[in-house]
Amino acid sequence: MNLDQYNYHLPEELIAQKAFSPRDHCKLLILKNNKIIHKKFYNIIDYLESGDVLVINETKVKRCKLIGKKESGSPVEVTLIKPLENNKFVARVKGRNPYPGIKLYFQNNSAKIIKQDYDIFELEFDNEIKEEDCELLTPPYIKENVPEEDYQTIYAKIPGSLAAPTAGLHFTPELLQKIAEKGIKIAKIQLDISFETFLPIRDFEDHSTGKEYFSVDKENANIINSANGKLIAVGTTVVKCLESCDWKLNEDKKSNQIQATTGISETFIKPGHQFKANIKAMLTNFHLPQSSLLLLTSAYIGKELLLDAYNEAVKENYRFYTLGDAMLIFR
C-alpha cells in the first residue's frame, strides 16, 4: 500500500486552533448513500432513530506534560507515558540532546534520565508526581493554549488518555438529553488513547498504534447487543474498542454479539480490515493526511469516497483536526 494515496491538500488556516462555541454549532458533514450533506452538529439528532445505540468513550485526558530545563539551562519538555515503581516513568523527552545521567528540573520536582531506548526514556523523579504539576498534552499543530474544559468531552469520567477522543467533543448536555428522549440508547465504553496516536506512519507494515487499555462491561455490552436500529460509534476510539472486543454468534447464529471484554488493544485498523462489529454509522473529526486515524476511517468507508468528502470539506472551509468540525459517515 502506498501512503501517498492517503494525502490531501489542506490550507493551514483550516487547522482549528480553538474549540467551537457552542460545541454543537460546529459544522457536520454527513456522508450517506454516496451523497454529501452539509449540516450543523446539532442536526445529528435528525439522523438518529428510536432503537439506535450511540456508543461513547468515557475516557478522560490526563495531564502528562512537564515543562522544565536541563542542568545547562536549556528548555526541555517531558511527556509522561507510563508510570513505573518508585517514582519512575517511561517518558518522551523533547529538548537538545537528552541522554542518561543528566538531571532535569521542573517547578516542583526534578528527575534523572536513567535509561534511553531510541526516543523513549526512563526517568526517576525525586518526588511523587502530582497531576496538578502537569499540563495537558495537545497536538503540535495547535499553537494556542487550550482550556482544559475544551479538551474534555462533557462525559469524560475515567482518567487515562494522553489525547482527547475528539468526536465526542461536540456534544452538549442538552443535545445528549434530546437524543435520550428520542429513544436512542447510549452505551459507554473506555479506551485510553496512547501517545502513539500523535506519531506519523513511517513504515506501513511495522507501524504501532501503541498499547491501549480498553473495557466494555456486561451492562454496556447488553445495551450494544440490544440495538434494534443502528449501532453508531462516536469516534475512531470506539471503533477500535469494539473491534478489540470478543464477539460470538448468538443462538440463532444470525448476528454477532459483543462480549464483556477488558484488555490491551494493539489493533491497527487499515484498509482491508474485516469488521466484526456491525457499525452502521461512525462519527469522527477530519484527520491528518497519512495518519493511522485516516486509514481507519478509510477502512470503514473506502478511500475514494472519503477523500472526495475531505476535498469537499476543504472547499466549504470546514475546520480540521482535533478542535475542528465533524463528519457522520453511514455505511
The 10s digit of each residue's pLDDT in 70-100 is 999 999 999 999 999 999 999 999 999 999 9
Q: Identify the pLDDT of residue 119.
A: 85
Q: How many CB atoms lie within 10 A of CB 28?
A: 22
CA distance 291 to 273: 16
DSSP letter at 185?
E
Question: In which band, very low, low, confident or very high, does the pLDDT at 207 lie, cut at 50, 70 and 90?
Answer: confident
Q: Identify the pLDDT of residue 2.
A: 82
CA distance 171 to 177: 10
Question: Locate cell 452505551: which residue?
Answer: 187
CA distance 112 to 89: 11
DSSP letter at 15?
B
Q: Identify the pLDDT of residue 3.
A: 86
Q: What is the 3-state secondary structure (H, E, C) of 230-263?
A: CEEEECHHHHHHHHHCCEEECCCCCCEEECCEEE
Whether residue 5 is predicted with pLDDT greater than 80 in this model: the reply is yes
CA distance 197 to 142: 15
Q: How many CB atoms lie within 10 A of CB 150?
A: 17
Residue 223 main-chain phi, psi, to 5 deg? -65, -45
Bridge-based pairing of strands 35-40 and 103-105 is unpaired
296-328 pLDDT per residue, tens: 999 999 999 999 999 999 999 999 999 999 999
Contacts of the segment 175-182: beta carbons below 8 A, 24+ positions apart: 175/24, 175/41, 175/42, 175/44, 175/45, 178/45, 179/45, 179/48, 179/54, 182/45, 182/48, 182/49, 182/50
CA distance 118 to 93: 11
Q: Identify the pLDDT of residue 204.
A: 66
Across the range 6-31, mean pLDDT stands at 97
Whether residue 194 is predicted with pLDDT greater than 70 in this model: the reply is yes
Ordered domains of the chain (ranges, CATH): 3-62+138-330 (3.40.1780.10), 65-133 (2.40.10.240)
Q: What does pLDDT average to over the chain?
A: 94
> With b meaning 16 or more CB within 10 Å and e meaning fewer, what string describes 290-299?
bbbbbbbbbb
The pTM is what?
0.93
CA distance 175 to 305: 29
CA distance 46 to 279: 18
What angle do helix axes 236-244 and 292-301 make, rounded to 10 degrees?
A: 70
Beta bridge partners of 124: 88, 112
Whether residue 241 is predicted with pLDDT greater than 70 in this model: the reply is yes
Contacts of the segment 123-127: beta carbons below 8 A, 24+ positions apart: 123/78, 123/88, 123/89, 123/91, 123/93, 124/86, 124/87, 124/88, 125/87, 125/88, 125/89, 126/87, 127/87
Question: Locate cell 477502512: which residue?
Answer: 299
What angle do helix axes 303-315 and 292-301 make, rounded to 10 degrees?
A: 110
263-288 pLDDT per residue, tens: 999 989 999 999 999 999 999 999 99
